A and B are shown apart, each in its own frame.
Chain A
Amino acid sequence: MSTTQGTNGLSASKSTKGSTAIAVVCCVAAVLAAPVVRADDVGWATSQTATGQERTRERAEPRSPSFELSGSLLWLGTSTLGSSAATMTPDQGQTRYTYFNTSASLQSVAGVDARLTYHVTSMFAVEGGFTYSHPGVALTVSGDAENTPGFTSTGERLSQYFLDAAALVDLRPLTFAEGRGRPFVEGGVGYLRQLHEGNVVAGTGQVYHTGGGVKYFVIARRRGFFKSFGFRFDARIYFRSGGYSFNNTSRAFPAIGAGAVVAF
């Protein structure tokens, strides 16, 4: 049984530099993935000379158009909701009288992220995503005018939904592991909906995100509906505008995700 390798459908040339740069990110996936790669399943395009003695690799253009479906666990970082003071009109002077101060934040939480990706070209893809999380809300009250002790309460939660559209660009020069590992950058915009306990709409708004990640395919096949299977890792910065917030200031928070991806 001969084994051949080459670039897979969605990547192109290898790049040593690129592989080094993302080696840390991908090492876990590579270690886990390596044993399960079987020659019969490998779908990387290859060619042989007429004699069959010399193996050569050639670039294989992606089977465009193609789709990917991915599902990930996404960790969403803490996000401030802002701070605000309850104030009154003073009898004397211009400085408003502080009745009490409030601040709040959405606590970090693990959510789920599902994405359907469509490869428009070998490098460019668009995708639609759905993200659900159930973060806690930390409410802090302090500085009461009548010296009531301040407190921070964490007893309430929101159901939070993002519905977004994003664009992905494969970083072909950074492809590694014989084309199995494919870094990408992405950016998107989406709709935000947050429901409070009792499913009362707490707020709606927009989310914007930018970031990058890597997909590492461990199984690829020439035939069949499912063409390849692998893992997907994402690192994003979200910017939330509107929603459950003290003002319209855009709030940033990080997100890191890991999951599986299937191409078909």
Chain B
Amino acid sequence: MRSVPIVLFVALVLVGDGSASAYQTYGVQIGNQTVTLKWNRLPVRYYVTDRGVPGVSSSDLQAAIGRAFSTWQSVSTAGVSATFGGFTSAPPFQDDGMSTLGFLSRPDLELVLGATDYLIDTTTGEIVESDIFFNSSFRWSVAQGGQSNAFDVESIALHEIGHLFGLGHSALGETTLQPDGGRDVIAAEAVMFPIAFSPGNVSGRAPKADDIAGLSDLYPKAAFKQQSGSIAGRVTKNGRGVFGAHVVAFSPATGKMVGNFTVDDQGSFGINGLDPGAYVVRVEPVDDADLDSFFDDSDIPDVDLNFRITFYDRFAIVPAGGSSGAIEIKVTPK
């Protein structure tokens, strides 16, 4: 088995060899084929480092991580599972065949709360190991209601474990750009949004519709494909496809939002895992996080940011077990 490491960061971006085909999942190139990055063998057996940080003991950390795994496992439409293998003295990010989660001091990564890496079987594309570190340069908390000035371990663990299972970043969030180049999150509707809530906020402990759709698309339970549907189509500008547009489907009936990106020069997109019904579709340029949170470095020059936010001028109807049919959303330059 030949394997390569891939690294994902929560507070910044993804870096590495993976090709982000969409926010929900990653694709890895295996020969001439792009294979969806995921675990083929479940449950994932994970270990937790035996080191804590001020205010969070190793057992506190293990309990918070256990709750985060349980939260993902409780997604009724997805079939993922994990088991706790025990504590380990080995730090995360060692390619040692053990999926290890723990604190790691990385003061050099001053905006990175945590990160996930993968070890991938390059003959099958499956994940064989995934480690997560929580940057101990920040203050952490496992308090039930959160603790001001400390980031919530369980919320960040839920995000990173989403990566561990193969989820990419979601762009379902709104931010403001700070003078120093950083961003403050105003609101988000996906655990997989790349910018964390403020210290003390524990809203990230529960996955949203966008996260659930992504995980269910990766690891669908038997009935999921029959019970859910998709919206597919193109985003065009002056008749040409738009690459990198963020497309959001909103169900007025359920209040759920699920997003994705246009992923090729034709402006094609697909949003899977939707409840049947009518959807309002909104398209916007990616402007609430750095582009490398969502796209490969090589693709970033092709991402089109020069168009106005546009709504599809009618409902997109999602049938159970089927697709809306190809819709075209025409955007105009700014």
Contact = CB atoms under 8 A, between A and B. Distances in A.
Nearest to B204: A89
A224 to B, nearest CB: 49
Interface stretch (A19-27, A45-53, A151-159, A255-263): A151-159
A88 B280 contact: no
Given A145-B174, A202-B278, A88 B252 contact: no
A88 B250 contact: no
B319 A97 contact: no
Interface in A72-107: 81-92, 96-97, 99-100, 102, 104
Interface of B: 172-174, 184-189, 197-198, 201, 203, 208, 248, 250, 252-253, 255, 257, 277-278, 280, 282, 284, 308-311, 313-315, 317, 319, 322, 324-325
Contacts of A244: 278
A97 B313 contact: no
Contacts of B310: 148
Given A89-B188, A89-B189, A91-B187, A196 B317 contact: yes
Interface string A34-61: 0000000000000000000000000000
A246 interface: yes
Chain A interface, DSSP helix/strand/loop, else mixed: strand
Contact of A91 (B184, B309, B322): B184
Interface string A183-204: 0000000000000101011110
A119 B80 CA distance: 61
Interface of A: 81-92, 96-97, 99-100, 102, 104, 137, 139, 141, 144-146, 148, 151, 153, 155-156, 196, 198, 200-203, 244-247
Contact of A86 (B173, B188, B257, B317): B257
A256 B277 CA distance: 30
A91 B155 CA distance: 13
Contacts, number: 102
A245 B254 CA distance: 10
Contacts of A85: 255
A148 B287 CA distance: 14
Given A88-B174, A104-B315, 12 more contacts: A84-B253, A86-B250, A86-B282, A97-B187, A99-B187, A99-B189, A99-B257, A141-B280, A146-B309, A196-B315, A201-B319, A203-B278
A151 B189 CA distance: 24
Nearest to B318: A200
Given A89-B187, A97-B174, A84 B252 contact: yes
A83 B315 CA distance: 14
Given A91-B187, A148-B308, A155-B313, A245 B253 contact: yes
A99 B324 CA distance: 23
A247 B253 contact: yes
B87 to A, nearest CB: 33
A2 B308 CA distance: 81
A101 B197 CA distance: 24
B315 A137 contact: yes
A221 to B, nearest CB: 50
Contacts of A137: 314-315
Contact of B325 (A91, A96, A200, A246): A200
Given A139-B313, A200-B319, A246-B252, A102 B185 contact: no
A144 B248 CA distance: 13
B324 A200 contact: yes
B174 A148 contact: no
A81 to B, nearest CB: 8
A141 B161 CA distance: 36
A148 B248 CA distance: 15
A85 B257 CA distance: 11
B325 A198 contact: yes
Contacts of B311: 141, 148, 151
A200 B186 contact: no
